[in-house]
């Protein structure tokens, strides 16, 4: 469940990055355009993404002992963080890439959890 929530939140981040320029290019979007363009929206999206990431991947590692989701998730989250500090032209590229990488990490984590056989059942 946590990973599905992480996928949804990362997907929202991607949608924000992809549709904000479109909305602004269309003009006349009013308050929605102002809201989408605000800097605080990035932090509003990043807060739950970071919480779900920290809640899901490390706890899952304890079960399946595969570092790949943690490493992939760390890369994706790093790209999201870096996107906050780069020029505006590079921001959406890094954020979208980071969002897709986070989605991949959560989906891999979910697959590993679903295919994991607890050690107690193996012995």
Which tens digits make up the pLDDT trace of 53-90? 999 999 999 999 999 999 999 999 999 999 999 998 89
Confidence (pLDDT) at 122: 46
Confidence (pLDDT) at 120: 52
DSSP the chain: -HHHHHHHHHHHHHHHHHHHHHHHHH---THHHHHHH-HHHHHHHHHHHHHHHHHHHHHHHHHH---HHHHHHHHHHHHHHHHTTS-TTTHHHHHHHHHHHHHHHHHHHHHHHHH---HHHH-
Count of domains observed in the chain: 1
> Does residue 121 surpass a pLDDT of 90?
no
Confidence (pLDDT) at 5: 93
Q: Which residue has the higher pLDDT, 101 or 43?
A: 101
Residue 98: band (very low, low, confident or very high) from pLDDT cuts 50, 70, 90: very high
Structural domain of 6: 2-122
């Amino acid at each position: 469940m946590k990973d599905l929530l992480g996928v949804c939140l990362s997907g929202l981040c991607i949608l924000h990055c992809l549709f904000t320029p479109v909305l602004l290019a269309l003009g006349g979007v009013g308050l929605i355009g102002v809201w989408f363009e605000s800097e605080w929206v990035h932090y509003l999206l990043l807060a739950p993404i970071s919480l779900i990431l920290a809640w899901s991947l490390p706890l899952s590692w304890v079960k399946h002992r595969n570092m790949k989701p943690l490493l992939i998730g760390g890369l994706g989250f790093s790209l999201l963080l870096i996107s906050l500090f780069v020029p505006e032209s590079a921001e959406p590229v890094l954020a979208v890439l980071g969002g897709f990488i986070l989605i991949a990490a959560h989906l891999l984590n979910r697959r590993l959890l679903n295919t994991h056989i607890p050690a107690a059942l193996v012995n």
